[in-house]
Amino acid sequence: MTIRTPLYDEHVKLKARFVEFGGWEMPVMYSTIMSEHHAVRTKCGMFDASHMGEFVLSGKNCVAFLDMMVVGNMSTLLPGQARYTLVLNDNGGIIDDLIVYRRENDFLLVVNAGNIDKDFGWLMQHKPVDVFLENISANVSLIALQGPNSQAVLQHMIKDRLENLNYFNFFKPTFTNINPSFCLLARTGYTGEDGFEIFISNNEAVALWQALLASGVKPCGLGARDTLRLEACMPLHGHEINDDITPLEASLGWAIFWDKQFIGREAIWHQHIHGLGTYLTAISTESGVPRQGYDIIIQGKAIGTITSGTFSPTLKKGIALGYTNSKLTVGTALQVLINDNLKDAIVVQRPFYRRKT
Amino acid sequence: MNIPQDLKYAPSHEWAKQEGSKVRVGITDHAQHEITDVVHVELPAVGKKIKKGQPCAVVESVKAAFDIYAPVSGTVVEINTKLENSPELVNQASYSDGFFFVIEASDTSELNTLMSPADYAKTLQA
């Protein structure tokens, strides 16, 4: 039995094709992945990301608790600031990646849809009695407005000025036409473009979606969301990261604040000192499309596996992330086994795509 | 959906057109619509012997790869080299410039086992 977001009827009206994702029935595309991808890179598009999970963490010791549960430094976050971080298990494996939003008196944690129950259980299991955790996922919708025109489009609907909102900052906006009981507007996203993520109470989610649609914003599905995030080399839990992959292996060492205690620190410190056995590698192919599960091959030997692969609508060639058993320099020639054919590939710099600022 | 009257159809959404002892093969309008943007086509080599019902080509969309099955047995005598640089022809002209290959059929009577346009149309309604 799959779950539907409050925007499900809107997707049906737009003749979306649906896919099951993490237990959710989500739109994979409305028109084509290619056209939705290009809309986000050149104008703007919107995604229903209401399947994402939202927790509120409060209590007077919530900062110290959160610092123990994630790899980043949460004590320096100021109200209105957000940070990407990771929850590790005792072995240093990534239970989930999440964005933490620091509010005046509490934190909003935004976690992956497929990990909501696992994350909530893990946090509940470790929290002291004077820290409070509430799962508000069922009450909150999330619309991601992404692309270079996002600010101009959204500004028409919001009384506050958006040009002063920095990347990874957020506030509670005042809309011109709707009055949601809960709203948080953040300059964040999962596409590699400028854009916003709008957390909004379910009762006004449809109104916001329809207003954006009326402004000419192109609805985009999970298909384009995946190609966009992969071009930008943003990891996806279940692919580049999972409970058996550490942040160092996933090239997420930049997110670690070592000068504190946190769960998993000992294991990854050991790895930090003794070195890695597996390395995140970005490759591209001129012919053929590399996909998840395909072997990465050098001189006839499988030396790794692809975790995410696609045709890149921006670069017009195959791109993939995967893990290899040695660290390969950019330019290394290798092969990928695609549909029983060995196709030439090359190690490239991450990310595949970076927007011009 | 566009289902030309002069073609035969496989349940796996390939079309076959008899040209004497040869059979031209492609995918249907319905198939290209379901696949959406075709970004790569992996064709068999000219000279390859293929067997009815066996996978012999791969169509890649942004999101997924789809096997193409031989509608009849025979030897590949021509492939659509235009698809290498213009895979979008499969979307734009699935029954003409977007064809995949031509087979020298080992037995053209195999075409009789394929579906008529009317029968194929029915499978799409089901």
Q: How large is the ipTM?
A: 0.89
Of the CATH numbers 3.30.70.20, 2.40.10.220, 2.40.30.110, 1.10.490.10, which one belongs to the domain with range A277-347? 2.40.30.110
In B1-126 the beta strands, taken as DSSP E runs, fall at 8-9, 14-19, 22-27, 38-42, 49-50, 55-61, 65-69, 74-79, 101-105
pLDDT confidence band for A245 (50 / 70 / 90): very high
Give yes or no for residue A186 having a pLDDT over 80.
Answer: yes
- Whether residue B115 is contained in a domain is answered as no
pLDDT confidence band for A75 (50 / 70 / 90): very high
Give yes or no for residue A355 having a pLDDT over 90.
Answer: yes
- Whether residue B86 is contained in a domain is answered as yes
- Whether residue B71 is contained in a domain is answered as yes
- Whether residue B73 is contained in a domain is answered as yes
Mean pLDDT of A204-220: 98
- Whether residue B21 is contained in a domain is answered as yes
Mean pLDDT of chain A: 97
Contact between B62 and A339 using a beta-carbon 8 Å cutoff: no
Mutant choice from A228, A287, A289 vs B, greatest count of B C-beta within 10 A: A289
Of the CATH numbers 3.30.1360.120, 3.30.70.1150, 3.40.1230.10, 3.30.43.10, which one belongs to the domain with range A8-50+139-231? 3.30.1360.120
CB A44 within 8 A of CB A198: no
Residues 6+ apart with CB under 8 A from A34: A313, B36, B37, B39, B62
Give yes or no for residue A1 having a pLDDT over 80.
Answer: no
User: Minimal Cα–Cα distance from A36 to chain B, Å?
Assistant: 12
Number of domains in chain B: 1
Does any CB of chain A come closer than 8 Å to the CB of residue B36? Answer: yes
For residue A340, what pLDDT is reported?
87
Single out the residue of A174, A164, A177 nearest to residue A209, CA to CA: A177
- Whether residue B15 is contained in a domain is answered as yes
What the block records as the tokens of A269 is 């410190």
Where in chain A is CATH 2.40.30.110? Answer: 277-347
Mean pLDDT of A171-195: 97
Count Cβ atoms below 10 Å from residue A300 Cβ, excluding itself: 7
pTM of the complete model: 0.95
- Whether residue B32 is contained in a domain is answered as yes
Rounded distance, CA A28 to CA A51, Å? 13
Does any CB of chain B come closer than 8 Å to the CB of residue A125? Answer: no
Which chain A residues touch B40 with a CB distance below 8 Å?
287-289, 311, 318
Contact between A288 and B60 using a beta-carbon 8 Å cutoff: yes
Single out the residue of A312, A261, A254, A256 nearest to residue A282, CA to CA: A312
Each residue's pLDDT tens digit, A105-131: 999 999 999 999 999 999 999 999 999
> Could you give the percent of chain A with pLDDT greater than 70?
100
Mutant choice from B32, B60, B61, B62 vs A, greatest count of A C-beta within 10 A: B62
What is the H or E stretch that residue A146 is in? strand A140-146
Which chain B residues touch A339 with a CB distance below 8 Å?
42, 58, 65
Residue B43, domain CATH: 2.40.50.100
Instruction: Name the CA dihedral angle for A266, A272, A273, A277, rounded to a multiple of 10 degrees.
Output: 110
Could you tell me which chain A residue has the CA closest to the CA of B62? A311
Q: Are strands A140-146 and A45-48 parallel, antiparallel or unpaired?
A: antiparallel
- Whether residue B1 is contained in a domain is answered as no
> Could you give the percent of chain A with pLDDT greater than 90?
98
Does any CB of chain B come closer than 8 Å to the CB of residue A349? Answer: no
Nearest to A339 among B42, B62, B63 (CB): B42
Where in chain A is CATH 3.30.1360.120? Answer: 8-50+139-231
Mutant choice from B38, B40, B41, B83 vs A, greatest count of A C-beta within 10 A: B40
pLDDT confidence band for B126 (50 / 70 / 90): confident
Which chain B residues touch A308 with a CB distance below 8 Å?
none
Rounded distance, CA A212 to CA A233, Å? 27
pLDDT confidence band for B77 (50 / 70 / 90): very high
